[in-house]
Every structure is written in structure tokens, then in C-alpha cells.
Amino acid sequence: MLFSSAVMNVVSAQASNQIDNVRVWPSAEKTRVVFDLSSEAQYSYFTIFDTQPHRIVIDFRQTTNQVTLQNVDVKSDVLRVIRTSNPPQSGTTRIVLEISGAIQPEVFPLGPSEFAGHRLVVDIPGANSSRTIEPTSAAEAPARIPRTLDEMPLRPLIIAIDAGHGGRDPGSVGPNGTHEKNVTLAVARKLAARINADPGMRAVLTRTGDQTLSLAQRTSIARRERADFFVSLHADAFTSPQPRGASVWILSHRRSETELGRALENKERLSEELIDVEHLLQGEEEDPFLNRAILDMYRDSSMAGGFEAATILLRELGGVTTLHRSRPEAASFGVLSSLRTPSVLVELGFISNPQKERLLINGNHQDRLADALYRGVREYFLRNPVEGTVLAATDIRTHVVSRGESLSVIAQRYGVTVDAIRRQNNLTGNTIRIGQRLEIPVAR
Ligand SMILES: [Zn+2]
């Protein structure tokens, strides 16, 4: 028997562990097997290539198995069977993967992420031809989304959405009695739904109902959630009924100076602003110069980001509604005061204009506004990738549709979901035509 490789990871604790689930994902290049564990993997493995069938043998120490392996859907050209075998010592679970050839696997543990707990991953290289011809229905697609996330232990972007006003503060009131707070909440919810349907993003709403919130509470929620982006939604009145367009606002430089000074003087605010570097500063003597330097850096980068995002959002909004101003405007808005998060305030339209008021309560118009905002935020982060996020690891490829290809066939070929292609190309149905160019978001 040839022990061609052995890897041990050193874990001193003798805690008992459990295999809670086993998942198999064949793709065009490899078959991935994931063991979901209740705590950190304590394992070793070796391969047996000198007798048939070729095998990968994994010993999970101090581990019990809760999975009926016969029920695991293997569906791989490379992986034939998953079974248990007699363990070398009591307390160990020995799992055997029978494979189609002498293929050296990659075996590595993954710690808990937003989407999964402790895992041991076994990647077995080798093409799975059946994956490219197997038909898939659109209904299957959502179930495959976690696979994409799991293949990339990356985090989603956190998008904070602030529905302006609320509770005792109705905001502006339109000529027909529409309250601004209801318009902003409706669009905020629609935008959140789009963002949460995107595996690369997660929405955080400052309010989900008719609550009264202070400006400080709104920005504090975004900072504590480590938001990558903050968008505040409004539909204010103008003194005359004529103005009717949308506009996008960013914090003025002067106000950002004031906010920087305030942050340095307020311990709680400072710790929220410095949430990403706090562990670096712990144990250090208070160093106001260092704090100031870091805040300065954050402020410069978030303001540049806010300006670019505002420009993109204006272009997207311009496609679905009239614009009041075609360039971002700067103002002293307290709600945009976070120094670490690019922040914008979107005026969806002026509720004081009777025609705009009717549009702002129209569900289809709200959908179009939410679509435009979603596309804009996504484009901003594709242009300005944030390290360690799903979207930063997403590459956009171009695919020209040829005869006989359906959306599901194309999705299979690139290992993405039909939904992901629809989102990227603003498609609502399944109709595509020969020669059409599609953008395909694939993992890098
Ligand atoms: Zn408002």
C-alpha cells in the first residue's frame, strides 16, 4: 500500500467533533467535497493509488458522523463513492472517497464564514463533462447560489440603506397628502430585496418600519454594521412646485472637517469609525495624531468614493427619471457624516410636484428607481473592488450567444446561476437571441 501523502493539522484540544453534512459540487475543472463540521477539523489524510479503486482516505479525529453517506448526491465523473471504513482508533471517523484515477486532491480546512461553519474541503481535479450538458431549470438556480459563495470564502459587501424620516417625522408632504417617509421606506425595501438577491451583497436597513430615528442613530447603525456603502433615500419638497427631478448629494468638504473633529472628541464615535483598525490600536497609548491620520485617510477615500458612486447613480437614475441636477452636489448633511463609509443621499424626486408625487407612490416607478440604484451600487463596486469580497473576485466575461444555447446552458458552462446572468444583463425573462452579447459574472 502506497501512502503517497499525509497531512496533519495540529490541534491540541480533544474536543469532540461532528460531521453534520457532506456536500458534493462537480464543476468543469474539479469536484469539490465539503464536510460541514461542528468545530474545527482535526484530520489527516492519505491516498491509495496502487490498488483499485483509487482512494482518498480521510481520518477525522474525535469525530462522529451524522450523515447517511449513501444519500449524498455524488454526480461526479471523478468521484465514484463516498463511504466510511474501519477507523484506525476509536473516536476517529474514517471516510473513503473512491475516485476514477490517481488524482492528487487538495485538502484544506475552512473556518466559519458568514455562510457556513467549520469545514474541511477536498478538491479533486478533473473535468466533469456531464455538468456542461446537463439541463437545469431556472427554478434550480437559487439553490445553487450558496455553492458559489462557499467556493469563495469571501464576504458580501454590506450596503446600508437609510429610508429618510419615519415615525413622528413624516418628512415632506405632497399636495395629495403623500408622506415622504412612506415613499422612502417603499423604495428602501425594494432596493434591499435586489441587493439581498445578489450573492455579493447584503442590505442593512436603518429602519424597516415606521420608526422614529435620529440622524446619529442612522449613521451609527451603518458604522457598527461595518457598511461598505451608505445610501440615504429622500423625496423632499421644494418651495415651488416646478422642480421635479432626482438628484444625488454627498458631504461637503467643510462638513467632513467638522465631523472629523467631532469624531476625535467622542470616544464612542471614534471607536465606531476606527472599527476596522481597533484591534491594531488596542494596548497602544491614546495617540490622537495616529487617530487623526487614520480618520483623514478614511475621510479622503470615502469622499472620493461617494463622489464616484454619486456620479454613477445619477447616470443610472437619469435612465428612469428626470434629473434635477446632472452632477453630484455637496452639502452639510449630518446623515452623510460617516468618515469610513462612502455615503450618498438620493433625492428620488420632489414630492411637492403633483405629477412627481403620483409617480413616487407608483409601484412600477419605485421598482425602476430601485433597479437603477442597485445597478449603480453594483457598478461602483465592480469599478472599486473591496478586497476580500465576493464582488471583488468577480470577473465579467463576454459571451456571444450561439445557436441552440439557452440561458441555463450558458450558466452551466460558466458555473454561474441563471439569476446572476439575468441580473448582470438586466434580463427579466429567459429570452435571448443568437449573436446577443451577454456579460457573465464569473469567479476569478
Ligand atoms: Zn427628506
| DSSP string for 46-103 | EEE-SSSSEEEEEEETTEEE---GGGS----SSEEEEEEE--SSTT-EEEEEEESS--
> Which of 203-207, 275-279, 433-437 is predicted least confidently?
275-279
How remote is the CA of residue 234 from the centroid of ligand 1, in Å?
4
| DSSP tag of 389 | B
* pLDDT attached to residue 309: 95
pLDDT tens for each residue of 407-441: 999 988 888 888 889 888 888 888 899 999 998 88
> Other C-beta atoms within 10 Å of 278: how many?
12
The beta strand positions in 213-347, using DSSP E, are 229-234, 247-251, 329-331, 343-347
**Measured distance CA(61)–CA(91) in Å, rounded:** 6
How remote is the CA of residue 190 from the centroid of ligand 1, in Å?
18
How remote is the CA of residue 141 from the centroid of ligand 1, in Å?
39
How remote is the CA of residue 159 from the centroid of ligand 1, in Å?
20
How remote is the CA of residue 181 from the centroid of ligand 1, in Å?
8
* pLDDT attached to residue 360: 94
Are β-strands 157-163 and 201-205 bridged in parallel, bridged antiparallel, or unpaired? parallel
How remote is the CA of residue 308 from the centroid of ligand 1, in Å?
22
**Measured distance CA(7)–CA(376) in Å, rounded:** 46
How remote is the CA of residue 228 from the centroid of ligand 1, in Å?
23
**Measured distance CA(172)–CA(353) in Å, rounded:** 11
Would the pLDDT of 147 be above 70?
no
Pick from 129-133, 270-274, 325-329 the range whose average pLDDT is largest: 325-329
Name the pLDDT band for 15 (thresholds 50, 70, 90). low
How remote is the CA of residue 235 from the centroid of ligand 1, in Å?
6
How remote is the CA of residue 266 from the centroid of ligand 1, in Å?
27
Name the pLDDT band for 3 (thresholds 50, 70, 90). very low
* pLDDT attached to residue 179: 95
How remote is the CA of residue 171 from the centroid of ligand 1, in Å?
5
* Cell numbers at 213, concatenated: 430615528
Average pLDDT over residues 370-391: 90
**Spatial contact of 371 and 320, defined as CB atoms under 8 Å apart:** yes
How remote is the CA of residue 92 from the centroid of ligand 1, in Å?
62
Torsion of CA 15, 18, 24, 30, to 10 degrees: 20
Would the pLDDT of 190 be above 90?
yes
Pick from 15-19, 231-235, 252-256 the range whose average pLDDT is largest: 231-235
Q: For the chain, what percent of residues have pLDDT higher than 70?
A: 86
Would the pLDDT of 23 be above 90?
no
Q: How far apart are the first and last CA of the chain?
A: 38
Name the pLDDT band for 79 (thresholds 50, 70, 90). very high
* pLDDT attached to residue 240: 60
Domains parsed from the chain with CATH numbers:
7-131 (2.60.40.3500), 157-383 (3.40.630.40), 393-443 (3.10.350.10)
Pick from 144-158, 200-214, 226-240, 321-335 the range whose average pLDDT is largest: 200-214
pLDDT tens for each residue of 236-265: 887 666 667 889 999 888 888 888 888 888
* pLDDT attached to residue 138: 35
* pLDDT attached to residue 243: 64
